[in-house]
Chains A and B, each alone.
Chain A
Amino acid sequence: MTRRFDVLVIGGGNAALCAAISARRAGASVLVLEGAPKFYRGGNTRHTRNMRCAHDAATEILTGPYTEEEFWKDLLLVTGGQTDEELARFMIHESKDILNWIVEQGVRWQPSLGGTLSLGRTNSFFLGGGRAMLNALYRTAEALGVDVLYNAEVIDLKIEDGMFLSAQLKQPIGGKTEVRASTLVAAAGGFEANIEWLKQYWGEAADNFLIRGTPYNRGAILKLLLAKGVQEIGDPTQCHAVAIDARAPKFDGGIITRHDSVVFGIVVNKHAERFYDEGEDIWPKRYAIWGRLVAAQPDQIAYIIFDSTVVTSFMPTLFPPIAGATIAELAGKLELDASALEKTITDFNAAVQPGTFDHTILDDCATQGITPPKTHWARKIETPPYLAYPVRPGITFTYLGTRVNKQSRMLMKNGKPSANMFAAGEIMAGNVLGKGYAAGIGMTIGSVFGRVAGREAAKNARN
């Protein structure tokens, strides 16, 4: 590329596009380098569905209010305090305006019609889902004159004393492999699709992880930045991981491989043993913990087991449940030890106490005298056919990232802000999300810090 841009955005998802649009609206010339082909553009944004934003009153799409303070408390709860309070409070405050700003960029919201998520108060849903949202952002960016290149894989960054100089491309574009720009916005996601890198922290277990998003989130930019003096933040073993169907593809199975049936049954490992309280907490928290729980089991596999009485109580699933007329037959199909599974279920059934089932609250259906207990929604599994879903850890995104300040400007290892480098989205999510997850918050981080990063990068470039 012979042309020199004011702002170079590396990445092509929500954060990248919000940065590109906001920089372009601030008068900067902008180039977006998306490493994936056009169809796979946008990384994990392709698979998202909603965004969590604070608001003081109900709107057309949200029941309300969801105050800044309540959002902050929710964040504190899921992260267990592992968050940068100043950044988090800043993000929450900005999220109020993002609800409208994102609509001005062509994104449309829909009322939450069905599904299983009861998030109508805290979360806004994109009409048509995450890819529709991305399509709208790309249309707006292109109409504003943002240049976008696909299959544009960056393999090196030239950085001197915390100052970005240029990016090196794998494939030449216009005869050149070096892209120069006045400022950089890194919005290239996490490293969840990089199994080798995951193995550094998880060992061989990572071989059994399924990656819910695209195979392109390999963390190449993150690795380069950290190697070249940017301060790192976050625990590398922390990630958003849920239990997904073991029959799902290795990459990009997206939302439809999830299971929300845990509450209706029990979960056993490959030894047909229960290992955690299936009734511990209400959706969506219980949903977000099972990825890690399954990752800690032998061979990283587990089985949700329930009976025919509850089969229509949860969302229809992509893969049908595996069925058996008897526990032994089901065990055979799952390749579990039949007598072990029979014992687990008999023990569980014997421990179930009478109660009134209600899966929308922490009800009074619990077990007594078994370990681990099922503290809510415990009901006997006794009506054939017996059914099961095999599940594995499904990694959505990782939290290791680059440290930033409120301008979304990267901080260097010596604590000094970078001269011209900004970061937005998953690559810096760890600043806000030390651990845990609350639905829709990844998109809030992306849009809020993307918008800020673009604006600040444009200002920086024009000075």
Chain B
Amino acid sequence: MHGTRILQEADRLMTVCNSCRYCEGLCAVFPAMEMRRAFSDGDLNYLANLCHACGACYTDCQFSPPHEFNVNVPKTLAVARAESYAAYAWPRAFAGAFARNGLVISLIAALSVAAFIFGFAAINDRGVLTGIHTGPGAFYKLMPHNAMALLFGAALLYAILALAMGVRAFWRAIGEPVGMKTDTKSLLQAVRDAGELRYLDGGGVGCFNEDDHPTDRRKLYHHFTFYGFVLCFAATCVGTLYHYLLAREAPYAWWDLPVVLGTLGGIGLVVGPIGLLSEKWMRDRVLVDEQQMGMDTAFILMLFLTSVTGLALLLWRESAAMGPLLALHLGVVFALFITMPYGKFVHGIYRFVALVRYARERQMMVE
């Protein structure tokens, strides 16, 4: 017996799939399944996070609904995946945040934005929020750099700690034997698999979305989103290095590295999320975990808002709008940071961990 109803169903499906195995060439889920004959909760959560929801196994399955065997692996694993995020969340008390994710994230975002606006006004006199500030250090007229660094550093550290604790719990649940270590080769393999979204290609033809005609659109938009995010993160890192190593203060000129990285990343984070949202909108409902639409949408919107406010700040930073735009941008980014461990962001982390586990398993079979 399993901990939840959906794991019970996942177990039933894996039993069906393990006696068929027609899908073994489509992605990593099925070869990983074939290495087992019985499935613990951890095994099922591992398989759920290994699934990239490309939908190929549903479209290719002779037993998918309306067949009486009712095999819908992508949807079942999507529900199990969402539940697994809550199951491994740290601290445990916050696991419930996943359930009402859209609402929680919008509330936190709104409160964060309000806090920054109020903070700017409270730290300085009221005029500073709507004043025109230019030249190096302009941003810090609104909020001192140290205050900003402290706030965001703390939020980021908290996010990293919470994520790490979650990953630790997940790794323990899926590890076999418990506490299994990984190796560099498997790690690099997982980086490659995640970096190119190897398993979002339906075994080669593309991802199935609105019908049985595969495309590469979801993969493309995901790449825009992910690499956009990475570029924006890199921009922040370079900015931090500039500040502390070179004593160069933001804002930087448009041609300077942090701005170039941030702008490119920002464009990726506009194109990607819009694309992903529209794909989600068109997606065949039979493949979708309706319960998690809120969580998915909330995260995509947060990424979109981060880039849009960032780009707006770049465009209007020399006007009176700079103060409010900076407050808005920082508020959104702050909200993104602190909600990271309790929203769709974790899918990337857990999927990566599952890929490491899979690469390791394959490696062990060869050895």
Contact = CB atoms under 8 A, between A and B. Distances in A.
Interface of A: 39, 46-47, 49, 108, 110-111, 113-115, 125-132, 135, 139, 249, 252, 254-256, 312, 315-318
Contacts of A125: 25
Given A135-B212, A256-B16, A127 B203 contact: yes
Contacts, number: 85
Nearest to A113: B24
A256 B63 contact: yes
A114 B21 CA distance: 8
Contact of B37 (A46, A111, A249, A316): A316
Interface in B1-53: 15-16, 18-26, 31, 34, 37
Interface stretch (B54-62, B74-82, B266-274): B54-62
A102 to B, nearest CB: 15
A36 B62 CA distance: 14
B213 interface: yes
A147 to B, nearest CB: 18
Contacts of B21: 114-115, 315
A127 B59 contact: no
Given A114-B31, A135-B60, A256-B69, 18 more contacts: A108-B205, A111-B25, A113-B24, A115-B21, A125-B25, A127-B26, A128-B26, A128-B57, A128-B60, A129-B22, A131-B22, A131-B62, A132-B56, A132-B60, A132-B203, A254-B63, A255-B20, A256-B19
A316 B18 contact: yes
A78 B222 CA distance: 52
B127 interface: no
A108 B206 CA distance: 13
Contacts of A315: 18-19, 21
Contacts of B213: 139
Contacts of A129: 20, 22-23, 60-62
A110 B60 contact: no
Nearest to A116: B21
Contacts of A115: 21, 24
A254 B37 contact: no
Contacts of B67: 39, 252
B68 interface: yes
B22 A130 contact: yes
A127 B203 CA distance: 8
A135 B62 CA distance: 11
Contacts of A49: 22
Interface string B65-91: 011110000000000000000000000
A438 B205 CA distance: 30
Contacts of A127: 25-26, 203-204
A195 to B, nearest CB: 19
Scoring A46, A256, A312 by chain B CB atoms within 10 A of each residue's CB, the highest score goes to: A256
A258 to B, nearest CB: 8
Contact of B31 (A39, A113, A249): A113
A254 B34 CA distance: 19
A256 B20 contact: yes
A316 B213 CA distance: 32
Contacts of A39: 66-67
Nearest to B23: A128
Which 3 A-B pairs have CB atoms at the shortest separation, nearest pair first?
A: A129-B22, A110-B25, A128-B60
Nearest to A142: B213
A113 B26 CA distance: 11
A132 B16 CA distance: 18
Contact of A114 (B15, B16, B24, B60): B24
A318 B60 contact: no
A46 B212 contact: no
Nearest to B33: A316
A126 B68 CA distance: 24
Interface string B202-223: 0111000000110000000000
Given A114-B34, A115-B24, A108 B19 contact: no
